[in-house]
Amino acid sequence: MIYNFSAPAKINLGLEVLNKRDDNFHNIKTIFQFLDWGDEISLDTNTEETKIICSDLPQEENIIHKLLSILGEKNVFTKKIKIEVKKKIPFKSGLGGASSNAASVLLALNKIFKLELNSKELFRIALSLGSDVPIFIHGESCEAFGRGEVFKKISLQEKPILIILPNCKISTKEAFENIGSFNNKPKNKKIYINHFETWARKKHDEINESFLWIEKYNEAFLSGTGSTIFSLFNNFDEATKIMDNAPSNMNCFVTTTLNNSPIKNEIKNYGV
């Protein structure tokens, strides 16, 4: 049988690095919100061998492969499945694509195969995969602390959003390794402060040029460590009008922010 579900992108409304921890991770402060846009995943249970199909990424390098390995080592899940990911979220874009893929597959497996993993167990597995995976298990917009896995409820409006996807890629690992080598205070006071914005703009001309263009019309922000830039609007007409005036070589689109990930509603009847 084939099951279909989504893996939504996330944005960071600000990203402040507070300090480095003893485990070499960093304590952060951020706000997570989801997008009504992301990857699409199909899971086929009728297969003789486990296979993961995802763009040009080798199966062994896919975070879903790591997830299945962890579940297999714990003897939680050992069945053969075929997973195909239709990618929309670019790699190393600050939108949590890989993390969202892993979380959606974990939630779907738990439901389809009645693994009966409780919330604590799901979060433990998620955090072992990466700092951004827990928010996709949580599935609700929130303020986040710690590595990004300590959540505080927050009330946010769902708004039209213009997303700009530069061609350049930013490694989260590289960004955090360089956090002490640059002035992380943005030049202009913004409602959401991202400590990586100045560094990303200096490192990549394309990011800086994208900021300079969109900031002629509206305030803009970096998501995560980059490279994605976004701008929030009060109505779709305004956002669409600005998008239509974008430079011809700019990859951008308009969608909306979401306070709840669609994945839990999509899989609620699976395994019943």
Q: Which of 44, 132, 189, 203 is catalytic?
A: 132
pLDDT of residue 181: 64
203 is catalytic: no
What is d(CA 55, CA 61) in angstroms, rounded to the nearest whole number?
12
Which residues have a Cβ under 8 Å from the Cβ of 211 and sit 6 or more positions away?
Answer: 201, 220, 229
How many residues are given for the chain? 272
Judged against a pLDDT cut of 80, whether residue 185 lies above it is answered with: no
Q: Which of 10, 87, 92, 203 is catalytic?
A: 10
| pLDDT tens sequence across 239-263 | 999 999 999 999 999 999 999 999 9
Over the chain, what is the mean pLDDT? Answer: 95
Judged against a pLDDT cut of 70, whether residue 130 lies above it is answered with: yes
Judged against a pLDDT cut of 70, whether residue 272 lies above it is answered with: no
Domains and CATH numbers, the chain: 2-152 (3.30.230.10), 160-258 (3.30.70.890)
pTM of this prediction exceeds 0.85: yes
Token pair of 16 as six digits: 């402040």
When pLDDT is cut at 50, 70 and 90, the band that residue 179 belongs to is confident
Alpha carbon of residue 117 to chain centroid: 23
39 is catalytic: no
For the ranges 86-95, 179-188, 196-205, 256-265, the lowest mean pLDDT is seen at: 179-188
